[in-house]
Every structure is written in structure tokens, then in C-alpha cells.
Amino acid sequence: MSDDQTRFSKAYAIGQKPWDSGVPSVELVRVLDAGNLPGKTLLEFGCGTGTNALELHRRGYTVTAVDFVAQAVEEARAKAQAAHAKIDFRVGDATRDDFGGPYDVLFDRGVYHHIRTVDLKGFLKVLERSTRKGSRWLSLAANAKEKHDPGPPTVSEPELRAELEPLFEILDLREFRFGTNIDDFRPLAWSILMQRK
Ligand SMILES: C[S@@+](CC[C@H](N)C(=O)[O-])C[C@H]1O[C@@H](n2cnc3c(N)ncnc32)[C@H](O)[C@@H]1O
């Protein structure tokens, strides 16, 4: 197990996971309502305990959702079972595993902003493999205009453009605030809507 995986596994084991708000991301819901994630098949990276995967399933997508923490995936599977939702939850590493596809839509909340500091090259290969020309990706990432310690790692606009634009056209880039399970902790974030070139 990598150091990174150990760190996240520990966070789930002790329940220190401020990102796990228990409600679907308001920004994801906004983008879905606007009809900006067309398609049927969807892959979510770093799904955590599956709250957004469940919302995406409810909206009619065939959802594959991966996280490299087994406990998170077990919790997600239990939630899906309780909701009678058929979602393909997998334990896997978004920097190196093969998740099939190509998918119509990719989604991540708070994953790209972290993975880019660990193995951006590996993640970009996985992104390339799991999409085709025209696939959409909505990435929700913490914004470097506000730093938090403790808090999520952040990315600036020039950084995200340099890293993502070789593979994706950015269709919409806007700011919003993440919801968390801590009162008044709402880190500034980027909503990055992209289309594979
Ligand atoms: C900030 S949390 C967000 C979880 C979930 N997206 C949410 O919004 O509740 C980041 C998640 O990404 C997962 N993760 C980090 N690196 C990963 C990797 N290389 N492969 C798969 N999952 C990863 C972590 O285990 C964690 O569940």
C-alpha cells in the first residue's frame, strides 16, 4: 500500500473526512440540471462513500465508481444496496488501473487536486485511456486563491490549464465553494467542465 493510500485509509478509519458531507455536491447538481454532462456511462474517480455516485445513478447514468480505500468502497456499496441502486463500485487506483470504457462522462470531487501532487502523469494516462473524443469531465478542485491548513491541496488556474488543456478543452471554468461536514468550512473551489479533444 502506498503512503498516500495509507493516509486516506487512516482518515476513513478514524472518521476524519471533512469532505464526506453526506449530501450530493450542489455544484454537480447545478451542472447536471444545466444538461452539461450528456451521455449514459459515467466513471467517478475517488468516490469516497458514494454520495455523488448515488445521485448520478438516480439521474440515469450507468455508474462505475472507484476509490483506493476499501472501507470507503464498502460503505458506498452498503448505501447503494440500501437504496436498491445498481452501481459498479470498485477498489482501484486512479493513477494506474484500467477501468474499461471509454466513458461518456468522468466526474471527480476533490481528487484531481490531490492526485496531481502524487502522480499527475499516471492520472493523465488513465484519463486518456478511459475517454474518447467528446467525452465530458467535470472536476471539482480546491482553488489556490485560498489556502487552508489543515485543508485540501489547491490548484491555480495557470496550473490546471497547463496540466489539463493538452488533453481536454475547458468549456467552463467557474468558482464555487465546497460543502463539508464542518460548520463554516467552505473552501473556495474550481468547477472545471471539460471535453476530451
Ligand atoms: C477529498 S476525498 C473526496 C471523496 C469524494 N469524492 C467526496 O466528495 O466525498 C478524496 C478521495 O479520493 C480518494 N483517492 C485519492 N487518491 C486516489 C487514487 N489514486 N485512486 C483512487 N482514489 C483515490 C481518497 O481515498 C478519497 O476518498
- pTM, two decimals, is 0.98
How much distance in Å is there from the Cα of 82 to the middle of ligand 1? 22
Q: Is the predicted pLDDT of residue 183 greater than 90, yes or no?
A: no
Q: What is the structure's pLDDT at 167?
A: 98
93 pocket-lining for ligand 1 (C-beta < 6 Å): yes
Q: Is the predicted pLDDT of residue 2 greater than 90, yes or no?
A: no
DSSP lists the bridge partners of residue 155 as: 143
List the chain domain ranges.
3-196
| Best residue for ligand 1 mutational test, from 7, 8, 117 (most atoms within 8 Å of Cβ) | 8
Measure the CA–CA gap between 69 and 86, rounded to whole angstroms: 20
69 pocket-lining for ligand 1 (C-beta < 6 Å): yes
How much distance in Å is there from the Cα of 173 to the middle of ligand 1? 22
Q: Does CATH place domain 3-196 in 3.40.50.150? A: yes
Outline where 15-111 has alpha helix (H). Answer: 26-33, 51-58, 70-82
Mean pLDDT (whole number) for 176-191: 92
Q: What is the structure's pLDDT at 142?
A: 97
Beta carbons of 48 and 20 less than 8 angstroms apart: yes
Mean pLDDT (whole number) for 36-58: 98
72 pocket-lining for ligand 1 (C-beta < 6 Å): yes
Q: Is the predicted pLDDT of residue 1 greater than 90, yes or no?
A: no
Beta carbons of 139 and 131 less than 8 angstroms apart: no
Q: Is 106 in a helix, a strand, or coil?
A: strand
Cell of 30: 447545478
Measure the CA–CA gap between 141 and 153, rounded to whole angstroms: 9
DSSP lists the bridge partners of residue 64 as: 43, 88
Q: What is the structure's pLDDT at 33?
A: 98
Residue nearest to atom 2 of ligand 1 (CA): 110
Atom number in ligand 1 closest to CA 8: 25
Mean pLDDT (whole number) for 143-155: 93
Percent of the chain with pLDDT over 90: 92
Measure the CA–CA gap between 94 and 122, rounded to whole angstroms: 8
Read off φ and ψ for residue 157, nearest 5 degrees. -60, -45
Please name the residues in contact with 99: beta carbons below 8 A apart, sequence gap of 6 or more.
43, 64, 66, 90, 92, 126, 130
